[in-house]
Structure 1
Amino acid sequence: MPLARNISRTLVSCSCIAAFLYFFTALSEYLNLHDLVPSGLSEPSTTYTLRSRDESTRVFRQDLKTTKFLSHAPGFSVVENLYWRNYTYYILTDQPWETPHLRYFASLSFDTQKTEGTLGILAAEIWAIRGDPIAPNVLDKDPQFGTSISFDEAVKKFGKAIELESPMLINDDDNFVNHMYHWIGETFIGAWRIWSSYAWRTGLVLPDFKTVAFIRQWHCAEKPEGHGAGDCWEDYPGANKWFTQKFFPGIKIESRTDWEARADTLQIYRLPLVVIADRAGGHNGPFSAWKPWGDVFRLPVMHDWLTQLRDRVLAGYTGRVNLRPKDTGRLRVMYLERQEHGRSLRDEDHDRLVEALEQLHKERVVDVVIETFTSAIPFADQVAKISTIDILIGVHGNGLTHTIWMNPGNDKAVFEMQPAACTITDYSPLAVAAGVQHYMVHETTFCHPVDCPQRGCTDHENYPDGINSDDIRVTPSVITNEIRKIAQRAAAMH
């Protein structure tokens, strides 16, 4: 009996506790609801939701593909559902104020020359899905806010656009691309930066490009009679073609021929996912500093964005260069000389520089190699050689594009020699982007990029050829003394 009474008391106690918790919870919810009720009302208001059941909503979300800029910096854009017709991009949106300024997005040309057949054609147009103006004096005059189009008109105009394969990379420029630096070191590297920034910002695993389109250049083999090499996308040594096909195995490369055929159809095409690289748009950027990637290089990316690029290019390499040279414990220095080209050092200064570098090698301060890159050396071997180098020395020129294959680090450096009267910042930003220290050498001094004079050449009386001088002077100790310091710091770290 005592046991039964104890059990009964326990059950009663538990029931009381449960009842108390139930009423306490109910009271709390009631009081919380009353906090939302305006003064004077005795009952809580109903919670309302809003959802469109209009059929046009389904069509807008599923059938009509509107344009969205997923990532952008002047000159370089990642765009979803971009439309194209007869060399004009169409941006279809119900939010035109979210579109980047058109002068930063696309243009017909970099230097105001007009590609044959495109005179009078706008580079890009915004088509804004919206209603009529609320007053008669409101006109659609500003192209940045678009031409008004009703929803039904948008469906009719864009709803059946022909879809192209994506992702696609488009080079939207008709100048300079047949040059290793301007394609690999400017246009492509800017596009790779915006694509890498998009990956960093979203955390998405981005697919490889299916197509690279040079919409304003021909393949050299199909170039019409009367057009020069500048109207092709390939360069004479073959670097552009090798790099593009190596970086994108199996890539489809389209040319002006393909896009002129599309233009002739007068059809609207839709690009589901595309990266647009436009040099003029980059030059128009507020922080361009005379180069197309001045703004895009400032976007955040993963730290290995360029080493990933280098590793892809070197994947499967079977050439003559040893990608893992014997570790001597010393930094590897390359002087990439170009004495047989128009832009070069004064002969006696070249000889003195070689002698001073060889002295460093004899003292085992660093390991030094003297190289000359010509079209006879396969581009794959050139990339491979630079990938093993810690310090690169060269006169301002195409070979310094190779900076992007170097490893980043505090003991990595590029010494670029220019006439004392010139500061031409074509290659120093590549070094900065690659995480390599850049030295602009001016005869008896050097400067780092942020401390160098403003871009340009002065003293035309004493330097009539400017940056293209074949009489560039240099004091070798300006370079070799700094190399000694870099080597000392590297040795102390290890």
Structure 2
Amino acid sequence: MVFRSFSRRDVTLLLLGAFSMHLVSVLFSTPTETSFVISNHLHQHAEIIPPPIEPILVENFVTPSENVVQLSASNDVAPHLAPQLPMTSIVHSAPGYTIFRNLYMSNGTLFILSPNRSFPDIRMIISTSIFADASPENIAAREPNPDIMDFIIPEAAQKRWGGDVQNGVRHHIFTVEGNTVLFNDPSQFLRHYYHFVAELFFGVQAFWHGAFSASVPSTIPDPEKSSNPGGKNWNAYPIDPQTLHKSAYQLHHPLPPQIHRSIFMHSNADGWRDDPGFNSYFLRAAFPAMSVEHQEDWNDRIAATNGGSNAVRDRAWLFPVVMVVDRSAAFRESMTGSHTQRTAAQAWEYMRNAGRLRGELVGGWWESVRNAVLFFSGAGVGDVLGGTEDNDAAESTSLQLPISKKVMVTYVSRQAGSRRKLSPESHESLVAALRELANKRDFDFNVMEAETLTKEEQLQVIAKTTILLGVHGNGLTHLVFMPPTRFSAVIEIFYPGGFAHDYHWTARALGMPHFAVWNDTYLTHPDEPKVAYPEGFQGDSIPVYGPLVVKIVEDRLDGKI
């Protein structure tokens, strides 16, 4: 064979051919294993609650002399793959309100996983969740037992739910991601607008918001300056604040972490819905992203933890962050059981005494809920006022609440109802007297008959209301959505000699004065009367002297009371 040297033309053609073949192979080659990008979609376990402003402290309940332990943020290892099952700890606890980290549920029992029992008494956390009455037998029956909540030591938990992570066997625990509220109450009080909104969720918001707010020591009440010295009047709660700290007047504060779900463990879907429909309206307006589970769902979760007769281990649900709320537990301490009869008082007082209750004089801790509901109702932005941080006067030495752009007095009439209403003559004289004062003082006066208005229309009126008045009843629950102003107040008409803390305590917890009217007499803090339900309390002929109510309104607008 004879070889010859390549010419420049040959080299050029050879290179061009090679490039063409490579291009064809790239564009038209058959796929291989390396042609695909494979994603296993594995993500790092994310922390649900961001670290609080300051390290959250967990009180050790064994002895007062033991140190307070700092609660550190969880690590990034998924609990079912962790070397050890996560231990339970407490963020904050007051009677009836307890926030846990890493609480377990298996076979219907809530388990505290800990090597010791350095926790609050379980009876101050939870009950058996049966309908309540005042009989000794019922009180005893509501005491919790180990089937409701119990301790479990790490060795027992490992044997019951643990795996062998080092050898590829995961723990038999399943994380309920996010932040959960477990409501342990039956439907007994849930189907009432006041108890659901102005007591249950009022307390939840106070406790949850406070738990993730930094403590401001100067806002903690000083017993030496109490408006009820020595607690002489058992009914005069809450006491007046003594602080002039600016935060007490501020309406807007950093939001706490989102509550992702509420679980009504002992109530079905109808059990928490009131007949007028305000409970469900409130829940969807205030917490639009929050999911809701009921007793049927809880029973599903219980059943799912049973591994079956042939299973080596049971399963457990792990709640990384959960608040347990229990009405009976709240009543086991005097603040609710004797002083106020309001379960929310436990949450409110606890956070106040820890310096964590934000915007005490304007309900700043409640503002995100109030604002969300009013916005949902279509109330105009101009109807909702701010606190001192929204005013030019915020830097003045004398901190004051804002003044209403236009004063409105709203009378919630119950005259169309069958009980707890004014006598016809009292109603007529009251309306006439207030209309006369409105003309004289140039303010708006509104008689609100709730049954003739939509929910939106009612809330749009409340968003403009400065002074709310009416006979003791469900309509006064709307006070929780009133904008805080310098002249805000609640006037509650009782049958003479009667009194209840429902709207009295709630109004004062939002920084508003409350006036209890007995016909031609009124009482206010710190001279509240004892709780009483005399004959006639529920009647349809409650008397009221119109000129007295006029005087309260006028004196309030003049800054005299």
- On whether the aligned pair clears a TM of 0.5, the verdict is yes
Aligned to 1:173: 185
Q: Is the 8 A contact 2:128 2:144 kept in 1?
A: no
- Decide which of 268, 272, 276 is 1:237's aligned counterpart: 276
In 2, Cα distance between equivalents of 1:324 and 1:176? 30
Which of 370, 381, 403 is 2:447 aligned to?
Answer: 370
Q: Which has the higher contact order (CA 8 A, sep 6+)?
A: 2
Name which of 473, 477, 483 aligns with 2:547.
477
Are the aligned partners of 1:218 and 1:256 in contact in 2 as well (CA < 8 Å)?
yes
How far is 1:173 from its partner? Answer: 0.2
1:75 aligns with 2:99: no
- Does 2:146 match 1:107? no
1:102 and 1:324 map into 2 onto residues whose CA distance is 42
- Aligned equivalent of 2:358, options 302, 307, 324: 302
Superposition pairs of residues 382-421 of structure 1, within 5 angstroms = 382-421=458-497
* TM-score normalised to structure 2 length: 0.64
Cα 1:96–1:205, aligned 2, differ >3 Å: closer, same or farther? Answer: farther
Any conservation in 2 of the 1:172–1:216 contact (CA below 8 Å)? yes
Q: What is the letter of the counterpart of residue 541 of structure 2? A: D
Aligned residues: 390
* CA displacement 1:388-443 (0-9 Å, x = unmatched): 11100111011111111112344110000111121111111110111111111111
Closer/same/farther in 2, CA of residues 324 and 211 from structure 1, 3 Å limit = closer
- The answer to whether structure 1 residue 218 and structure 2 residue 268 are counterparts is yes
Letter in 2 for 1:349: S
SS of residue in 2 equivalent to 1:83 = strand
8 Å Cα contact 1:110-1:279 kept in structure 2: no
Distance 1:123 1:238, change over 3 A: farther
Q: Contact (CA 8 Å) 1:171, 1:187: kept in 2 or not?
A: no
Are the structure 2 counterparts of residues 393 and 162 from structure 1 closer, same or farther at C-alpha, using a change threshold of 3 Å? same
Q: What is the match of residue 115 of structure 2?
A: 94
Which residue pairs with 2:329 in the alignment? 281
Preserved CA contact (<8 Å) 1:106 1:280: yes
Q: Gapped runs of 5+ residues in structure 1?
A: 1-57, 130-150, 221-231
TM-score, structure 1 as length reference: 0.72
Of stretches 400-409 and 337-346 in structure 1, the one that deviates more from structure 2 is 400-409
The share of aligned pairs that are identical, in percent, is 25
Report the CA distance between 1:260 and its aligned residue.
Answer: 1.2
Residue pair 2:491, 2:514 contacting (<8 A) in 1 also: yes
- Which residue does 1:313 correspond to in 2? 373
Task: Quote how far apart the aligned CAs of 1:88 are.
Answer: 2.6
Change (3 A) 1:321 1:357: farther
Contact kept, 8 Å, 1:333 with 1:368, in 2: the verdict is yes
Of the structure 1 ranges 204-213 and 120-129, higher mean CA displacement relative to structure 2 is found in 120-129
Equivalent position to 1:445, from 511, 521, 525: 521
Of 258, 261, 272 in structure 2, the residue corresponding to residue 208 of structure 1 is 258
Secondary structure at the aligned position of 2:468 is classed as strand
Compared CA separation, residues 291 and 158, structure 1 to 2 (3 A)? farther
Say if 1:199 and 1:206, in contact at 8 Å, map to a contact too. yes
Distance 1:152 1:121, change over 3 A: closer
Deviation at 1:272, TM superposition (A): 0.9
Gap regions ≥5 residues in structure 2: 1-78, 163-171, 216-252, 307-314, 386-402
**Matched residues in 1 for 2:502 and 2:555: separation?**
26
Structure-2 change in CA distance of 1:330 and 1:470 (3 Å): same
The residue type equivalent to 1:282 in the other structure is A
Q: Which moved more, 1:163-172 or 1:340-349?
A: 163-172
1:183 is aligned with what amino acid?
F
The secondary structure found in structure 1 opposite 2:207 is helix
Amino acid at match of 1:309: V
Deviation at 1:315, TM superposition (A): 3.0
Work out the CA distance in 2 between the residues paired with 1:401 and 1:66.
40
Distance 1:310 1:62, change over 3 A: farther
Q: Determine if contact 2:499/2:532 at 8 Å carries over to the other structure.
A: yes
Could you tell me how far apart the structure 1 residues matched to 2:380 and 2:109 are? 46
1:450-480: CA deviations, max 9, x gaps?
A: 421221224xxxx2x4x31211111112211
Report the CA distance between 1:318 and its aligned residue: 3.4
Q: Secondary structure at the match of 1:171?
A: strand
Q: Measure the CA separation in 1 of the matches of 2:525 and 2:477.
A: 16
Q: Check conservation: 1:393, 1:414, Cα contact below 8 A.
A: yes
Q: CA RMSD in A?
A: 3.0
Cα separation, 2, equivalents of 1:262 and 1:479 = 54
- What SS does structure 2 have at the residue aligned with 1:414? strand
Q: Structure 1's 123 and 410: CA in aligned 2 closer, same or farther, altered over 3 A?
A: farther
CA 1:354 to 1:164, structure 2 compared with 1: closer, same or farther past 3 Å? Answer: same
Taking a change above 3 Å as real, the CA distance of residues 103 and 398 of structure 1, as seen in their structure-2 partners, is: same
Q: Which amino acid aligns with 1:307?
A: E
Structure 2 partner of 1:356: 433
Alignment partners' CA distance in 2, 1:336 and 1:278: 31
Asked whether 1:429 is paired with 2:499, we answer no
Structure 1 outlier segments of 4+, above 6 Å: 58-61, 118-121, 319-322
Distance (whole Å) between structure 2 residues aligned to residue 257 and residue 111 of structure 1: 18
Query: Contact 2:260–2:290 (CA<8 Å) still a contact in 1?
Result: yes
Indicate which of 371, 383, 388 corresponds to 1:323: 383
CA–CA distance in structure 1, aligned partners of residues 84 and 374 of structure 2 = 43
Residues in 2 aligned to 1:91 and 1:152: alpha-carbon distance in whole angstroms: 13
Cα deviation digits, residues 152-209 of structure 1 (max 9, x gap): 2222335432221320122210022011111111111111111011022379863211
